[in-house]
Structure 1
Amino acid sequence: MIVVHDKPVTLIGGAEVSKKMLDRAQSFGPCVVAADGGADAALYNGVMPDAVIGDFDSLTDWARGQIPRAALHPIPEQETTDFDKCLRNIAAPLVVGVGFSGNRLDHQLSAYNTLVRHPHRPCVLLGVEELVFLCPPSIRLDLKTGCPVSLFPMGAVEGVSDGLQFPIDGLNFAPDGRVGTSNTALGPVDISVTSPKMLVILPQESFEQAVQALLSARSWWPAP
């Protein structure tokens, strides 16, 4: 394990990252890890990463020259993405990822795949418009009435809910079958699911509530 922390950790990717977005993430996770070229984004925003993890194929020479050698952790294998390399090497109550959505759809989909393949690593990805996280076994979200809530299955999964305009009780979700997009919160929402396959998508305005809910979740998916 490269990074071990008792508080949330901010992880920066190579897609769009604004200073405002980074400040929001760091309000919960002051320790900053960069995924390869995300180190450039960190430095451009005045943040020195505590660690840089990846295959270093997009880390610029300029950024490499600014960062202490002890903070550079190259993992040369090409079988996994830099996000995967980071997530599996960070032990923290929550990883807050910025810079993992917006630039390329294939990279974005790959990040969602990584969330599902590492369900025991709590992580929320904050984007410009929305945020995404893998639903834990049970979660309570303190949402406002009318807040959009989308549930997208990455595999076969069932669940129950309270506080959604369209309850999910008794439904069988699958990526090639029923999905749960375009739902709406009637107020605080409780969701429980049967397996680590359901992505929760909320407006970025709900970031603080989502982080608090993930940190308060009573259980998470066990390590394989």
Structure 2
Amino acid sequence: MTEIPENHCIVYDCAPVLLVGGGEISAKSLELLAVFPGKFVAADGGVAHILDANHQPEAVIGDFDSLTPDLLSALPSECLHRISEQDSTDFEKAISRIDAPLILAVGFTGGRLDHELAVLHGMLAFPERVCILIGAEDILFLAPPHIDLDLPAGTRFSVMPLALVIAESEGLRWPLGGHEYAPGFRIGTSNEVQPGEGEVAVSLDVDRPTMLVILPNEHLDRVTSSLLRVSSHGVRWPARAK
């Protein structure tokens, strides 16, 4: 086990990676843990969930304050990547060191509210990492500059700005209209896909990486496919200047 320098990438893949935190694991997350075909990465104590699902982590990244001696002894030293600085969370330490077209993140919701808010901060801090946060009922991701989704008519579709952003949409019951959105000013929760029958083509355009999209988690496969297209076409956000 060695100390990892700042901004040193640890995990590389051309396929999606599953990032596992130490929080509550929903039924949807358990299902994903059981069948996920790619690499597993643990944010600190999230490695316990990976081992419980009979998988081995590609890497364990964090400050290791949640790792028991038993867990440490069960893991090969080459997969342990300790980052001791305390200016970032374990989620940030992990997500910033994964280079993949898409990161699926489980075990980061359903517990302490301050932890959940810190995860949203981490997504905002590293917009170049395309990530879907998976909870018990919903999935959440940072909107890329443009995304197209085919969704069943009437599907709940919420957007929540983390900072000032201009957003336009097609296919929603209440179009976003090119207006400015910001916390304490205007949000877009509890919208929905246009009512009717069958599927509706929905598109979303935003001018900066500060808008969250929240959908029922039954649409994970659709969102995964759409975000992989975003990554493959090179229209993801650039890294923020640090």
TM-score (normalised: structure 1): 0.96
Alignment of 1:188 onto 2:201: yes
1:132 is aligned to 140
Q: State the one-letter code of the partner of 1:102.
A: G
Structure 1: tracts of 5 or more residues without a match = none
Greater Cα radius of gyration, structure 1 or 2: 2
**Alpha-carbon shift at residue 27 of structure 1 (Å):** 5.1
1:9 is aligned to 17
Aligned counterparts of 2:34 and 2:143: Cα–Cα separation in 1 = 22
Identity among equivalent pairs (%):
44
Aligned counterparts of 2:68 and 2:48: Cα–Cα separation in 1 = 7
Counterpart secondary structure, 1:205: helix
The Cα offsets for residues 77-133 of structure 1, whole Å up to 9 and x where unpaired, read as 111000000011000001100001001111111101111111111000111111110
Matches within 5 A, 1:60-209: 60-186=68-194, 187-209=200-222
CA RMSD in angstroms comes to 1.5
Alpha-carbon contact 2:33-2:50 (below 8 Å) kept: no
Structure 2: tracts of 5 or more residues without a match = 1-8, 195-199
Q: State the one-letter code of the partner of 1:158.
A: I
| Number of equivalences | 224
Residues 29/162 of structure 1: CA separation in 2 closer, same or farther (3 Å cut): farther
Shift >3 Å, 4+ stretches? 25-29
TM-score (normalised: structure 2): 0.89
Q: State the one-letter code of the partner of 1:222.
A: P
**Alpha-carbon shift at residue 59 of structure 1 (Å):** 1.2
Alpha-carbon contact 2:34-2:53 (below 8 Å) kept: no
**Alpha-carbon shift at residue 222 of structure 1 (Å):** 1.3
